[in-house]
Amino acid sequence: MTKNKKLLIWGVPTVLILATALFLILEGGVVAGGRSYVVKRGKLDASIESVGEVKGEKATEINIPLIIRDRELRIWQIKIVDMVEEGKIVKKGDYVAQLDQTEISNHLRDRMQEKEKRDADLKNARIDSTVRLTQLRQEIANSVLDLEYNKIDLEQSQYESEAYQRKAQMAYQKAEIQVEKRRRDYLLEQNRWKMRVQRHVNQLDWLDGLIARYEEAMEATRIMTPEDGIVMFGTNWNGSKYSKDDEISIWRPLIATLPDMSSVISETYVKEIDISKISKGDSVNITIDALPNKSYAGEVAYIAAIGEDHPGFEMKVFKVIVRFQDRDDDLKPGMTCTNSIVFEHYLDQPLIPLEAVHSDSLQSIVYLKSGGNVTKQPVRLGAENKGMTVVLDGLKEGDRILMNPPEDML
């Protein structure tokens, strides 16, 4: 009797365990981590993640000085020979960077040598004009004397023959014409030399102004801050931050910025295949790599209309600006952040794990278990997020699906 009781005591739990195991085997389990999953309704936010950089929405720009960008100076790019550390807090008038003076100095030396030559040319032109015009005035004086001689001869010819009178008249007219010609030649030569001298004067004036601008550019190579702020350096053509010995082009003159962190943004780039999904005003969840215990709410404030090539991407990307809705003193310019841009909200929709979705003849299917039968069930899916996806058509709440296809249906 005692033996039978022991068998009964140990046998009942064993039977219950075996029955439960058999039920689970037949039904396939009820948790997502097992062999099956029961479809539930829930909420899912469809989002796109992109890495961005924290910036002030407004910033004071520190550019290559305008005098250095003067086209006549022919300084197309200039090297940074020294700079402060990025992130340094500065006051108005503080030192930021030193630009290389070598090319400016070389141009200045060349222009000064050219000015010496032009000075010599001007002096020679003035001397030559003086000599030449003096010579012409002497020729005019001689022509006037010749005219006077011919006039006297003409007056005396009245006592001579008619032929001689005619000859004297012609000689006088010829001398008169010669005087007028000499005077015209003098005026033409005077104007010619005047223009030649003026060209030298104009060239010297231009060189004087150019030399003064080169000297001003030399002084402008020491870059100072126009306002108080935190120094954030600009980026090169390849997207890297400027550093010592980098070249800055006058076509891309931004050296650094002093961001105003009273209004904070995240500047990010979204791939062209995803850009059509998002819209201005979409909500964004922002996390900061340097502040792992914090998250911030934001919204899409700007979407670029034209795609561009950007380092780190194999396709065109579009610039997107996300504006933080909250202000936090812990936010610093240049921090790396992750933007989760929510482009669609699904409420009370059937949700299933992505792991349970398979493909068959270019359509998505799941393996639907009903009693002891398993069938391929086509499904139309919506957005996905964090390993789950929305089922728009093909399943309802309470349906049981297998996480993996049965061996006999592979």
Q: 236 in a domain, yes or no?
A: no
Tokens for 72, please give them: 């006549």
Long-range contacts from 112-115, C-beta under 8 angstroms, 24+ separation = 112/211, 114/207, 115/204, 115/207, 115/208, 115/211
Residue 1 — pLDDT band, cuts 50, 70, 90? very low
**pLDDT range class, residue 118, cuts 50, 70, 90:** very high
User: Is residue 138 in a domain?
Assistant: yes
Q: Is residue 366 part of a domain?
A: no
Number of domains within the chain: 1
Convert the pLDDT of each residue in 373-410 to its tens digit. Answer: 888 889 998 878 778 888 988 888 888 998 888 876 65
Q: Is residue 114 part of a domain?
A: yes
State yes or no: pLDDT of 106 exceeds 60.
yes
Q: Does 198 map to a domain?
A: yes
Token duo for residue 25: 């085997």
As a whole number, mean pLDDT of residues 299-303 equals: 95
Range 283-312 average pLDDT = 92
Is 155 part of any domain?
yes
Residues 189/195/200/205 CA torsion (nearest 10 deg)? 150
| 280 within 8 A of 265, measured Cβ to Cβ | no
Between CA 158 and CA 160 the distance in angstroms is: 5
Alpha-carbon distance of 157 to 169, in angstroms, equals: 9
**Residues 218-227: tens digit of each pLDDT:** 999 999 999 9
Q: What is the pLDDT of residue 67?
A: 96
CB 403 within 8 A of CB 35: yes
Residue 197 lies in a domain: yes
pLDDT at 22: 42
Domain range spanning residue 112?
A: 103-220
Q: Rounded CA gap, 405 and 410, in Å?
A: 7
User: Does residue 373 form part of some domain?
Assistant: no
